[in-house]
């Protein structure tokens, strides 16, 4: 099965790191084929920023996302620019609800995760919001394993940031698990 993942926001949010972590988790630890790319040039350093990861059981031919199965949006600008790529019935969209307020009603599967709030209040670092989103994504979609994400953060991170990122993953994962249980229990999110 081929699955396409997109994360988008603005430069400095760690969007590209999210792509690298997802790619490493799936490619090295979940034993999938992967192809990851990202915004290149000045846009990645302050403007609109985006990363894509294609994950598949088979060899990947076309390496870019065509109809993302899972999209993480971390700014309203990213929502306005990229949301139209998602199939409104089937796509799963995770938004950082601290930064993205409204979503068009036609998108069926929307998960609202206050990632920047969680990162600020629990970790004291807004920059860890991306890892909160990834933890939640692992819980809610199963695109990559939580253990894979942890290992990938250890592989790609540096020093103290790794500790914070691992904690951020954990917070996000716990938040996602709670959401999932509430949804399975029939509650309206």
Partner 1 sequence: MATGGTIKIMQGNEACVEGALAAGCRFYTGYPIEPASEIAEGMARQLPPAGGIFVQMEDELASVIALVGASWGGWKAMTATSGPGFCLMQDGIGLAAITETPCVIVDVQRGGPASGQSTAPSQGDVFQARYGANGDYSLIALAPSTSQEMFEFTIKAFNLAERYRVPVIVLADEIVAHTRERVYIPPADQIAVVNRKQPAVPPAEFLTFKPDADGIPPMPAFNTGYKLCVISQVHNEKGFRAKGKEGAALIRRLTDKIEKNAGAICEVEELYTEDATTIVVCYGSVARCARRAVKDAREQGWKAGLLKLNTLWPFPAKQVKAVAARAQRILVPEMNIGRIALEVERASGGACEVIPLPKLDGKCHIPAEILAAIKGGCR
**Which of residues 46, 47, 63, 142 is near partner 1 by CB under 8 A?**
63
- 74 vs 152, which CB is nearer to partner 1? 152
**Which of residues 45, 46, 47, 64 is near partner 1 by CB under 8 A?**
64
Q: Where are the beta strands (DSSP E) in the chain?
A: 2-10, 33-38, 48-56, 70-73, 92-96, 109-113
Does position 143 interact with partner 1 (CB under 8 A)? The reply is: no
**Which of residues 62, 90, 178, 182 is near partner 1 by CB under 8 A?**
62
Q: Phi-psi bin for 142: left (phi > 0), alpha (psi -120 to 50), beta?
A: left
* Helix (H), strand (E) at residue 21: helix 15-24
- 99 vs 134, which CB is nearer to partner 1? 134
**Binding-site string for partner 1 from residue 22 to residue 61, where x marks contact by CB under 8 A and - marks none:** -xx--xx----xxxxxx-xx------------------xx
Does position 20 interact with partner 1 (CB under 8 A)? The reply is: yes
Least CB distance to partner 1 at residue 23 (A): 5
Least CB distance to partner 1 at residue 79 (A): 22
Least CB distance to partner 1 at residue 24 (A): 5
Q: How far apart are CA 117 and CA 186, in angstroms?
A: 26
- 37 vs 97, which CB is nearer to partner 1? 37
- Residues 6 or more apart whose CB falls under 8 angstroms from that of 59 comprise 33
Q: Where are the beta strands (DSSP E) in 25-108?
A: 33-38, 48-56, 70-73, 92-96
- 64 vs 154, which CB is nearer to partner 1? 64
**In 142-189, where does DSSP find H-type helix?**
146-156, 159-184
- 41 vs 105, which CB is nearer to partner 1? 41
Could you tell me how many residues of this chain bind partner 1 (CB under 8 A)?
A: 20
Q: How far apart are CA 9 and CA 129, in angstroms?
A: 11
- Burial class of 103 by CB neighbour count within 10 A (0 to 12, 13 to 18, 19+): middle
Instruction: Write out the residues near partner 1 by the rule CB under 8 A.
Output: 19-20, 23-24, 27-28, 33-38, 40-41, 60-64, 66
């Amino acid at each position: 099965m081929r699955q396409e993942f997109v994360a988008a926001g603005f430069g400095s949010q760690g969007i590209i790191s999210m792509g690298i972590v997802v790619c490493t988790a799936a490619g090295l630890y979940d034993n999938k084929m992967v192809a990851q790319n990202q915004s290149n040039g000045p846009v990645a350093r302050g403007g609109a920023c985006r990363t894509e990861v294609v994950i598949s059981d088979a060899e990947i031919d076309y390496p870019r996302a065509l109809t993302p199965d899972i999209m993480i949006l971390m700014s309203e600008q990213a929502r306005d620019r990229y949301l139209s790529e998602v199939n409104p019935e089937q796509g799963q969209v995770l938004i950082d609800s601290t930064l993205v307020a409204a979503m068009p009603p036609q998108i069926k599967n929307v998960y609202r995760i206050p990632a920047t709030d969680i990162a600020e209040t629990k970790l004291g670092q807004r920059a860890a919001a991306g890892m909160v989103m990834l933890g939640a994504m692992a819980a809610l979609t199963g695109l990559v394993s939580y253990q894979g994400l942890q290992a990938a953060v250890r592989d790609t991170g540096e020093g103290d940031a790794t500790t914070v990122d691992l904690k951020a993953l954990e917070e996000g994962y716990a938040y996602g698990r709670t959401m999932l249980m509430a949804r399975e229990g029939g509650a309206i999110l």
